[in-house]
C-alpha cells in the first residue's frame, strides 16, 4: 500500500473511532442483502431494487458495524438530479447489538464451486417485531475468516 493510501486508511480509522467511541481494528468490504423489512429494522436505506447494499464491516474493540459511505457515480448523480432525488447518506448500523445474533455459512456444492460462486455468510437476529431476520453477506475473503471475526462479538 502506498503512503497516501495508508494515510487515508488511518484517517478513516481515526474518524470512525471518534464517531463511535470505539477503536477500529479492521475492515471488510461486503455486499449486504436483506428484504426491506430487515433493512428497515437496521435503519438502513436502499435506493436500488436489488435490496443489496455495498459497505464495510468495521470491526472495533467493543462492537462491529455495517457502514455505508455516501457515494454515487457521476452517472447516478445526473440521474438522481434529473429525478429530483435525495443525495446518498452515510449509514451506520451497530450489528453486534442486534438481539439473538447468530452467524452461519452456506454449504457449497460441487457445482457452486465450479461456477465460482462465493461462500455466503448469513446473520440471523430477532427483530423488534419478535420475528427472526436474516442478512446475507458476500465478501472477497474466505467466509470462515469473517465468521471468526464476527463470532467474537456474539453474546452468549
Residue-level pLDDT at 147: 94
- State the average pLDDT for the chain: 86
Residue-level pLDDT at 81: 73
Residues 6+ apart with CB under 8 A from 23: 17, 60, 61
**Are 119 and 142 spatial neighbours (Cβ–Cβ below 8 Å)?**
yes
Residue-level pLDDT at 71: 67
Residue-level pLDDT at 47: 66
Question: From CA 71, how far away is CA 87, in angstroms rounded?
Answer: 9
Question: From CA 27, how far away is CA 69, in angstroms rounded?
Answer: 13
How many other CB atoms sit within 10 Å of the CB of residue 26?
Answer: 12
Question: From CA 84, how far away is CA 69, in angstroms rounded?
Answer: 21
Give the DSSP letter of residue 153. T
Residue-level pLDDT at 113: 58
**Are 59 and 77 spatial neighbours (Cβ–Cβ below 8 Å)?**
no
| Whole-structure pTM value | 0.83
Residue-level pLDDT at 63: 96
For the chain, the residue count is 156
Residue-level pLDDT at 46: 80
**Are 39 and 46 spatial neighbours (Cβ–Cβ below 8 Å)?**
yes
Low-confidence ranges of the chain (pLDDT < 50): none
Residue-level pLDDT at 120: 86
Amino acid at each position: 500500500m502506498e503512503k497516501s493510501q495508508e494515510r487515508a486508511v488511518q484517517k478513516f480509522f481515526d474518524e470512525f473511532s471518534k464517531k463511535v467511541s470505539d477503536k477500529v481494528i479492521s475492515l471488510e468490504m461486503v455486499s449486504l442483502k436483506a428484504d426491506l423489512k430487515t433493512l428497515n429494522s437496521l435503519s438502513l436505506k436502499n435506493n436500488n431494487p436489488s435490496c443489496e447494499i455495498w459497505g464495510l464491516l468495521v470491526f472495533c474493540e467493543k462492537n462491529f458495524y455495517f457502514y455505508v459511505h455516501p457515494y454515487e457515480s457521476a452517472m447516478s448523480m445526473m440521474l438522481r438530479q434529473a429525478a429530483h432525488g435525495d443525495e446518498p447518506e452515510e449509514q451506520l448500523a451497530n450489528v453486534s447489538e442486534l438481539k439473538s445474533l447468530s452467524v452461519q455459512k452456506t454449504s457449497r456444492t460441487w457445482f457452486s464451486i465450479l461456477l465460482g460462486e462465493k461462500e455466503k455468510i448469513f446473520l440471523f437476529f430477532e427483530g423488534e417485531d419478535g420475528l427472526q431476520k436474516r442478512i446475507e453477506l458476500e465478501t472477497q475473503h474466505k467466509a470462515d475468516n469473517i465468521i471468526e471475526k464476527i463470532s467474537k462479538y456474539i453474546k452468549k
